[in-house]
Amino acid sequence: MAARFADTVVYPDGTPIANAPVFVRLRGSYELAALYADAAETATAENPVITTGIGELVFYAAPGYYDLVYNNNEFPITVGNPSGGSASTSYTHVQSVASMTWIIRHNLGFQPGGVRVVQSTGEEIVGSVSYPDVNTVQINFSSLTAGVAYLS
């Protein structure tokens, strides 16, 4: 059974990347992932996926590790629970393009109370954290920032 992936793709300034092609590749390779129109895998979906007019990217794929590729930039993602165990209680977000606003669709089903950010320099920093909805964390910084957010 395929798992649903949904996220909003944004430029470094936080503006949604609308109506744009995003390729979904198997992690660390150039091989395109098999995508589906629904969780039951009754029909395949196109790869690349075209974002909506407000930058939403939605597709179904086998649980696993993938790379999203847009304009030659790669962003690692996890779809579903690749281990097949119980639902995840943590999420790691890699922000490889520096931005003042990080929008993180974690799909944990709760608002994570633990939000830790480590810059690409290795320094831990604090941003202003808000929760637009139960599956989204938004972190605002005073300057362009790239790095990793650990949610739990």
pLDDT tens digits, one per residue of 2-39: 888 888 777 767 788 899 999 999 988 999 999 999 88
Is residue 34 domain-shared with residue 44, that is, in the same domain? Answer: yes
Is residue 60 domain-shared with residue 121, that is, in the same domain? Answer: no
Sequence-distant (6+) residues with CB within 8 A of 70 are 9, 17, 20, 21, 22, 23
Q: What stretches of 15-135 adopt beta strand conformation (E)?
A: 21-26, 35-36, 44-45, 49-50, 56-61, 64-70, 73-79, 91-105, 115-119, 124-125, 128-133
Is residue 81 domain-shared with residue 91, that is, in the same domain? Answer: no
**CA gap 62, 3 in Å, rounded:** 6
Is residue 134 domain-shared with residue 148, that is, in the same domain? Answer: yes
Is residue 10 domain-shared with residue 76, that is, in the same domain? Answer: yes
Q: What is the pLDDT of residues 57-116, one digit of tens each?
A: 889 999 888 888 888 878 788 887 776 655 566 788 888 788 999 999 887 778 887 888
Domain that residue 104 falls in: 87-152
Please indicate, yes or no, whether the overall pTM of this predicted structure exceeds 0.75.
no
Is residue 101 domain-shared with residue 77, that is, in the same domain? Answer: no
Is residue 73 domain-shared with residue 101, that is, in the same domain? Answer: no
Is residue 54 domain-shared with residue 41, that is, in the same domain? Answer: yes
Is residue 92 domain-shared with residue 81, that is, in the same domain? Answer: no
Domain count, the chain: 2
Is residue 41 domain-shared with residue 91, that is, in the same domain? Answer: no
The CATH code of the domain that includes 78 is: 2.60.40.10
